[in-house]
Amino acid sequence: MSPDQLVKGNETFMDKLLKEDPAYFDKLKEGQAPDFFVVACSDSRVSPSVISETPLGTMFVHRNIANQVNVNDESLAASLYYALVHLNVKKIIIQGHTGCGGVAAAKDGNEEPFLKDWIKGIRQGFQSQNRSPQDELNELVKANIREQIEKMKQHPVYKKYGKDTELAGYLFHLETGKLEELNT
Ligand SMILES: [Zn+2]
């Protein structure tokens, strides 16, 4: 895809919305009241709002490699705080996906600079979930989602401001397009 197509695609997007509702963007600019705070993987194939066809204004999203809830991540802490305190989101979702490259890198023990520290954190999560790097990749993907839910429960921002906010894990199946809610 060329950068020109970004602009062309945007024109199609605008036309479609304006055809349905000429005041769409006037309403959009008034503000946001999203129902969900979503922690998802950065993978280009798993955009949370695209895979669930949710309109703009529905999800406040934080993305990183392998949808990690890292207590040292200032960006996550700020997004979580804003979502809970200012946006009053109703539900927090950890969304992982099958075939996750970040989880695969943790399984294989990636040692590249700028990746290895992040990957190490993912790998430590396997142990907390009583899993071994030898386990099947998608079992580790599920364990990784469950581990992030546990880490969210322990996150100081969640503990202080999110206690009554529902927390759920979802698995996006790349092979079929299905979004599955995980038992946690
Ligand atoms: Zn991924």
42 CA distance to ligand 1 centroid (A)?
A: 6
CA-nearest of 41, 39, 51, 49 to 177 is 51
pLDDT digits (tens, 9 = 90+) for 92-149: 999 999 999 999 999 999 999 999 999 999 999 999 999 999 999 999 999 999 999 9
Q: Is 41 annotated as a binding residue?
A: yes
Domain identity same for 6 and 43 = no
pLDDT at 152: 98
Its domain, for residue 145, covers 32-181
Three-state secondary structure of 114-149: CCHHHHHHHHHHHHHCCCCCCCCHHHHHHHHHHHHH
Domain identity same for 7 and 48 = no
Given a cut of 80, whether residue 85 has pLDDT beyond it is: yes
pLDDT at 1: 86
Question: Around ion ligand 1, which residues have CB less than 5 A away?
Answer: 41, 43, 100, 102
Domain identity same for 87 and 10 = no
Domain count, the chain: 2
Domain identity same for 95 and 56 = yes
128 CA distance to ligand 1 centroid (A)?
A: 19
pLDDT tier at 3 (50, 70, 90 boundaries)? Answer: confident
pLDDT digits (tens, 9 = 90+) for 36-57: 999 999 999 999 999 999 999 9
40 CA distance to ligand 1 centroid (A)?
A: 8
Q: Is 117 annotated as a binding residue?
A: no
